[in-house]
A and B are shown apart, each in its own frame.
Chain A
Amino acid sequence: MNILKTYKIYINGQFPRTESGRTYVVNDAEGNPIANVCQSSKKDIRNAVQAARKAFGSWSERSAFNRGQILYRIAEMLEGRKAQFLEELTQQGQSLETAKDEIQLCIDRIVYYAGWCDKYQQILSSVNPVNSSHFNFSMAEPTGVVGILAEQSTGLIGFVSQLMPVIAGGNSVVLIASEQLPLCAITFAEVLETSDLPAGVVNILTGSADEMLPTLAEHMDVNALFLSNVDAEMEKNTQLSAIDNLKRVIVKNDDWTKEDAQGISYISSFQEIKTTWHPIEQIGGATSSY
């Protein structure tokens, strides 16, 4: 007899059950139950935001090189656990062939963003030739705590494509997994947990988007939201809830299984530009050509 695995949620580097005590059953393509999954609550969202805020400072201050190393480590760990993801994707209705492709694309995409960690800054920054004696430069800084509503139609590639550029850029994340295809998200949390990613940088909750998204969108300590392929009504309501603290709301309607659904713009959407002015001393008569 098979043991039904209970998938728990991922907050602050730990795997608690939802504080609400609720679960829902995920079925395979034939309608047979394959797992119990947490039906997370608003309280879980708040706990996750708190963890993400706490983790943000030190994650954003990690060196870009170090973040790149950790992202690459995530790809390595995923590589090592391919079999489990393959099983979950096929259990949830995918053919072996497309599941294999999806996992491979995920690994490639994580490696792709691992490489971006210490490069996007040079592309987004500028040294500004101001008309006064100042050294003036602008550079990108992470927006802060980012709420992600995972692409609902895929089990793995969607949320991985959303998550990686956001953490590559030094943000911390609260992610609501696909309601119907949540298994890989929690297994992915196990990958993250073993990849040297600091606790709280990524928090993953399962359950109803309708129930949790409004709480995330209204939360005053969330700085940005990332939605993928949501209907017009949900987009509008989320945008409205986001106004109170002027969250940046990014909506992408990509087909994440396409190889080109990636790029620096997914990183720069969750960056703020900071300009710094510093005086240059002007004394003495010497010029640089003496």
Chain B
Amino acid sequence: MTESNNNWEYAPSLEGTSHIQLKEKYDLFIDGKWVKPSNNRYFDTINPSNEEKLAEIAWASDADVDLAVKAARKAYVEVWSKMKASERAKYIFRIARLMQEHARELAVIETLDGGKPIRESRDIDVPLACNHFFYYAGWADKLQDAFPNRMIQSLGVAGQIIPWNFPLLMAAWKIAPALAAGNTVVLKPAETTSLTALKLAEIIEQSGLPAGVVNIITGHGDTGAAIVNHPDIDKIAFTGSTAVGKLIQKSVIVTAKRVSLELGGKSANIILEDAPIDQAVEGIVNGIFFNQGHVCCAGSRLYVQESIAEEVVRKLKQRMQSLYVGNPLDKNTDVGAINSKEQLSTIEKYINIGINEGADMFQVECEIPSKGFYCRPTIFTNVAQSSVISQEEIFGPVLTIQTFRTIDEVIQKANNSPYGLAAGVWTDKGSRIFNLTSKLRAGVIWANTYNKFDPASPFGGYKESGFGREGGLHGLEAYLK
């Protein structure tokens, strides 16, 4: 087989944007109404694929956060906690349906605002987000069945802070179980990706959900801090970096707030010598280049058994050459734009560290657009276990590759990390899969697959990757007494 058939060019196939409706300016969604921020501050949200401004977003102050929490408390006490559970379920079902009806618009906005390939927003993010509401809707009137022999009770007002890598999906992961369990919500999306959460607010408005049950407020880190520190919030749910997670944990220690944290990772993807190699190569690519590597459970540490390392690396490089890096709205695109300038410089910093540490770098040779934030898919070989690039979360399309000889060795190396979010195992032998999957200290293990998600499937980490689960029956636990 020839090394590359790069000369083949696909004709551009751009997803249309004519059907989407964006306002020039977005206010805060509080108590069922659109409210201007108290100090009249707004910030721009841009399209990371071309740096063009998309809209202005309200920057909520402490006073706005207080207003949202008050609305959520009032809605909790007066409406939501009193409502018959089956009625609560119907509202959540209705939100799911409305999201499905808006699926195409949501997918395009997700791609415009966040930079991820339209193929992913359309086929993964948006359907999973809809399904998450659909899944949890049905739990609302079955909670006692989920926890027999226990008097279950909702918590009250949940403050929820979500990251920029799966904006709408993370909003769904947070809001759907909270509502099903009978709580009301104040949710803050990340500052670079507020738009789909605000679209969700419009959908919620349309759904007729009682005012104040879901409040969506936008802003930067100070807005998030105001949520974390608000005295009338009963529960903080956070997805983001381990560093911020630790800060949150610190601020809530002396309070009665409950916390669930879904934090960083440096997940091991392990290829054993009997693995189906071509499938494994696809799994490696999906593990690290899915969503530009902006995935907390990305398979960013690759461990390949020594006997097949050369072949795997050769095939991986060859496969990487066929990745399309570019306009996220193009349906051919595999790797879109890096979410922000800031994140791009973080990734570039790590790439330089890798080079300086003496690892061997390989990058896809491809054109990247002159405007916007892009990073070529990158792998490092000859990486030491102790090196910075194999220890720290990069959150970009950068893979480290190490080899191993025995299964004991790879288990030890894979577990030698403060994180414990996910891991992948590739082998043809069933008993070997279960040997590895039971010894890897991580909350999600993919055997002969990677980066699969489902509303019914509990997700969350061991060790410094956080605590609490999202998804499935176990995901209800975080929102119930």
**A126-B473, A272-B443, A276-B437 known; A223 vs B463 contact (CB < 8 Å):** yes
**Is there a chain B Cβ closer than 8 Å to A248's Cβ?**
yes
Interface string of A192-234 (1 = CB under 8 A from B): 0000000000000000000000000000000100000000000
**Is there a chain B Cβ closer than 8 Å to A22's Cβ?**
no
Let me know if A243 and B249 touch, CB within 8 A: yes
**A128-B472, A136-B457, A273-B458 known; A279 vs B445 contact (CB < 8 Å):** no
**Is there a chain B Cβ closer than 8 Å to A83's Cβ?**
no
Let me know if B418 and A245 touch, CB within 8 A: yes
**Is there a chain B Cβ closer than 8 Å to A130's Cβ?**
yes
Contacts of A129 in B (CB 8 A): 456
Interface residues of B in 426-481 (CB under 8 A from A): 433, 437-438, 441-449, 452, 454-460, 462-464, 466-467, 469, 472-474
Question: How distant is B448 from chain A, measured CB to nearest CB, in Å?
Answer: 5
**Is there a chain A Cβ closer than 8 Å to B250's Cβ?**
yes
Q: Which of A131, A132, A244, A273 has the largest count of B CB atoms less than 10 A from its CB?
A: A273
Contacts of A245 in B (CB 8 A): 418, 463-464
Let me know if A138 and B457 touch, CB within 8 A: yes
Q: Which of B245, B246, B474 has the largest count of A CB atoms less than 10 A from its CB?
A: B474
Q: Which of B242, B448, B456 contacts A136 (CB 8 A)?
A: B456
Please report A residues at the B interface, Cβ cutoff 8 Å. 61, 126, 128-132, 134, 136, 138, 141, 143-144, 223, 236, 239-240, 243-246, 248, 272-279
Q: Which of B249, B261, B418, B442 contacts A274 (CB 8 A)?
A: B442
CB<8 Å pairs between A and B, sample of 26: A126-B474, A128-B456, A131-B454, A132-B454, A134-B449, A138-B458, A138-B474, A141-B438, A144-B441, A236-B253, A239-B253, A246-B245, A246-B249, A272-B443, A273-B443, A274-B437, A274-B442, A274-B444, A274-B445, A275-B457, A276-B447, A277-B445, A277-B446, A277-B449, A278-B448, A279-B449
Question: How distant is B425 from chain A, measured CB to nearest CB, in Å?
Answer: 9
Question: How distant is A222 from chain B, measured CB to nearest CB, in Å?
Answer: 11
User: Which bracket fits the contact residues of B?
Assistant: 35 or more
What's the Cα separation between A177 and B215 when bound, in Å? 48
**Is there a chain A Cβ closer than 8 Å to B111's Cβ?**
no
Q: Which of B253, B433, B446, B448 contacts A240 (CB 8 A)?
A: B253
Interface residues of B in 297-334 (CB under 8 A from A): none
What's the Cα separation between A144 and B439 when bound, in Å? 12
Let me know if A246 and B261 touch, CB within 8 A: yes
Question: How distant is B280 from chain A, measured CB to nearest CB, in Å?
Answer: 13
What's the Cα separation between A144 and B445 when bound, in Å? 18
Q: For residue B448, which residue of chain A has the nearest CB? A: A279
Let me know if B457 and A277 touch, CB within 8 A: yes
Question: How distant is B122 from chain A, measured CB to nearest CB, in Å?
Answer: 16
**Is there a chain A Cβ closer than 8 Å to B340's Cβ?**
no
Contacts of B438 in A (CB 8 A): 61, 141
**A236-B253, A246-B249 known; A134 vs B459 contact (CB < 8 Å):** no
Question: How distant is B147 from chain A, measured CB to nearest CB, in Å?
Answer: 11
**Is there a chain A Cβ closer than 8 Å to B131's Cβ?**
yes
Contacts of B443 in A (CB 8 A): 272-275
What's the Cα separation between A161 and B159 when bound, in Å? 35
Contacts of B11 in A (CB 8 A): none
With contacts A136-B457, A275-B444, A275-B458 known, what are 14 further pairs, Cβ within 8 A? A61-B438, A138-B474, A223-B463, A236-B254, A240-B253, A243-B249, A245-B418, A246-B246, A248-B467, A274-B445, A275-B459, A276-B446, A276-B447, A277-B445
Contacts of A275 in B (CB 8 A): 443-445, 457-459, 472
What's the Cα separation between A240 and B247 when bound, in Å? 10
Question: How distant is B426 from chain A, measured CB to nearest CB, in Å?
Answer: 11
What's the Cα separation between A246 and B446 when bound, in Å? 24
Contacts of B463 in A (CB 8 A): 223, 245-246
**A126-B473, A138-B457 known; A240 vs B452 contact (CB < 8 Å):** no
Question: How distant is A241 from chain B, measured CB to nearest CB, in Å?
Answer: 11
Q: Which of B250, B441, B462, B472 contacts A138 (CB 8 A)?
A: B472
Question: Which A-B residue pairs are the 8 nearest by beta carbons?
Answer: A130-B454, A128-B456, A239-B253, A278-B447, A276-B445, A277-B446, A128-B457, A138-B458
Contacts of A132 in B (CB 8 A): 452, 454
